[in-house]
Amino acid sequence: MFGRLGGKKTALVSAGAALPGRSQPIPTAERHYVLGTSLLEPIPPGFGECSFGCGCFWGSEKAFWRLPGVYLTSTGYQGGYTANPTYGEVCSGATGHTEVVRVVWDPAVVGFADVLKLFWECHDPTQGMGQGNDRGTQYRSGIYTTSDHQIPLAEASCQAYQQLLTASGHGMITTEIKSGQQFFPAEAYHQQYLAKPGSRPYCSAMPTGQLLGDFPGADYKLASQVWSQYDWSIPHCVLRGDNTPISL
């Protein structure tokens, strides 16, 4: 299981060698610390849902919850084999999971293309099994879809972003794009970590500075002033931004 388009490769643990996990979910938070929405209840009918691995999930979750139209974000583990893993187990590399942010959004306000745009721009998807100073399979780049129509859009956006990266001298994208991967919520202290008092201002994301434009099937809905709130030329710009959602 490697990146969709190839690139740097480091083998993941096999299903047979993965830790067994547990039958019961690990304890997590009940409500979103910033948005106030439930992390455990069913999402509203018709809302979009997809999970993204962008390296350490602390900073990427904050980037996503600030997008207008986002109903819920939650940190967790996905793309591996172990049921209900703990953070320590995932970091050991013996579960096959990556750190992800589950994003739920109102499609009347924000399009899947907007969410994909933030995903590609907020990290470097060419770094294989790591991001910045964080190395390991749990920091790989990934898109974990929940509906059939999301896969072709994710792949089209990947191809468009690869063209930008190639033209600017970057390597091949190693992002994996998969469906049918169960999401396991992370521990309560990881949920909306950067918004909580006493949190350590840490983010290892390494944006390339390339801005995703149009691609086949794109359903952009957000105004241009939203994207001015994300300046990827500033190191760790997510840490510098306000915790509250962007207001139009």
In angstroms, the CA 172 to CA 191 distance is 31
In angstroms, the CA 98 to CA 122 distance is 17
For 169, what's the count of Cα atoms within 13 Å in the CB-facing half-sphere?
A: 1
Task: Tell me the residue type at 214.
Answer: D
Q: Is residue 239 classed exposed, middle or buried when 0-12, 13-18 and 19+ CB atoms within 10 A define those classes?
A: middle
Task: Tell me the residue type at 30.
Answer: E
CA proximity to 39, closest of 215, 192, 225: 192
Tell me the two tokens of residue 178.
């998969």
Tell me the two tokens of residue 141.
């780049």
What is the pairing mode between strands 70-78 and 184-185? Answer: antiparallel
For 41, what's the count of Cα atoms within 13 Å in the CB-facing half-sphere?
A: 11
Which listed residue (50, 56, 158, 237) is catalytic?
Answer: 56
Question: Cα separations (Å) of 28 from 34, 39, 50, 116, 186?
Answer: 15, 9, 19, 26, 6
Tell me whether residue 158 is one of the annotated catalytic residues.
no
Q: Is residue 221 classed exposed, middle or buried when 0-12, 13-18 and 19+ CB atoms within 10 A define those classes?
A: middle
What is the pairing mode between strands 98-105 and 70-78? Answer: antiparallel
Which residues are identified as catalytic? 56
